[in-house]
Amino acid sequence: MKTILLTGCAGFIGSNFVPYFLEKYPHYRVVNLDLLTYAGNMENLKEVENEERHIFVKGNICNRELVEHLFETYDIEGVIHFAAESHVDNSIANPGVFVETNVNGTFTLLDVAYKHWMEGPFQYKEQYFVEDPSTGGTVPRFHHISTDEVYGTLGETGLFTEKTPYAPNSPYSASKASSDMIVRSYRHTYGMNTVITNCSNNYGPKQHDEKLIPTIIRNALAGNPIPIYGDGKNIRDWLYVLDHCRGIDLAYHEGKAGETYNIGGRNERDNLTIARTICKILDEILPIEKNEKFNPSSIIHHPSSYESLITFVKDRPGHDRRYAIDATKIENELGWRAEENFESGILKTVQWYLERYHD
């Protein structure tokens, strides 16, 4: 049985990753370190609450003593690091906690892992680049989950590749870029076995209410205005969360040490199109006249389509115009492909929210 440390897996992506990973790998046990900030939710982990191979620890990745204790107690053989402050709007209002968690937290994990693996009682140094026959990868590995936002913004054309220079524009993306650089330095300075994946916007079940897609669904169903920043023309590449989980799994097990892999869905959509697509799905599955919880008190006329609720609001300061990922490297080197297109993924996502809506 191998034990790996996962961080931040009471949040959106991590809580999708844990059940996927434990089901696929019966020889793995995971220690899930999560502070349960406002973004973490134990409800997200209900599927694995009785699973003995999932050990949940409430705590801060910045707490060095705790992280050292976990490495020693569980003989941690790998890390996949999800934990972060992740919402751009919050980073504009309160950047300090982003530096603390995303930069200092990543440093703490990396440094404890390095000391434990390279200098500690396990002396992995000798077998450092030895292939692990059970996984095809190398042990032990530190996998850092990052974002395409580190690359800054694009014009109407072009894609982010792994060679695109970093140009982060928000305190969130700057803190993620900084953490990527620290990971990179541990590879180049100490030879640590690191992998970084930079992904585009995820969507799917269990995402926090504050993010765009849950915000659209929640407000539409309640009959509230659906807020869309600026002119609604900001473009993101959308990645279904389980496609992302498969990409992380591949990069963790088969990615080359020291490499970065971009993971994107090849699904560019602007925010207005996203809102309209969701409204159309809701019109079909739960038309307004059948939605008993729809309360159009804030609007004058009872609309026939959810789309009438779309309302443009003042743009976010420094709002990047377009992100788009070139996923060729992970596709060619590791054989990964996004299985969902936006239409299939968003339908599954809306259905997931609707199942909970009726509870």
Per DSSP, the three-state class of 104 is helix
CA 323 to chain centre: 16
Task: Give yes or no: 289 in active site.
Answer: no
Catalytic residue, from 28, 114, 151, 172: name it: 172
Q: How far is the CB of 175 from ligand NAD (least distance, A)?
A: 9
Taking CB under 6 A as the rule, does residue 216 contact ligand NAD? no
Q: Is 90 in the site for ligand NAD (CB under 6 A)?
A: no
Q: Interface with ligand NAD by CB under 6 A: which range of 19-27, 195-203, 218-226, 348-356? A: 195-203
Q: Based on the shown chain and the rule CB under 6 A, indicate whether residue 194 belongs to the binding site for ligand NAD.
A: no
Cα–Cα distance, 191 to 337 (Å, whole number): 30
Least distance in Å: CB of 10 to ligand NAD?
4
Return the bridge partners of 311, or none. 227
Beta carbons of 198 and 255 less than 8 angstroms apart: no
For position 82 contacting ligand NAD by CB under 6 A, the verdict is yes
**Residue 74, helix vs strand vs coil:** helix
288 C-beta neighbours (distance < 10 Å), count: 19
Q: How far apart are CA 17 and CA 21, in angstroms?
A: 6
Active site residue 119: no
| Contact indicator for 138, 129 with CB cutoff of 8 Å | yes
Catalytic residue list contains 148: yes
Using DSSP bridges, classify how beta strands 268-270 and 260-263 pair: parallel, antiparallel or unpaired: unpaired
Write out the binding residues for ligand NAD, residues 37-66 only, by CB under 6 A: 37, 39-40, 60-62
Please identify, among the stretches 5-13, 24-32, 280-288, 309-317, the one whose residues bind ligand NAD according to the rule CB under 6 A: 5-13
How many residues line the site for ligand NAD (CB under 6 A)? 31
Spell out the alpha helix ranges (H) of the chain.
12-24, 64-74, 88-93, 96-98, 106-114, 171-190, 212-222, 241-254, 271-285, 328-334, 342-357
Interface residue with ligand NAD, options 6, 13, 103, 338 (CB under 6 A)? 13
Binding residues (CB under 6 A) for ligand NAD: these are: 7-8, 10-14, 33-37, 39-40, 60-62, 82-86, 101, 105, 145, 147, 176, 199, 201-202, 208
Give the residue numbers annotated as catalytic, written as ranges: 148-149, 172
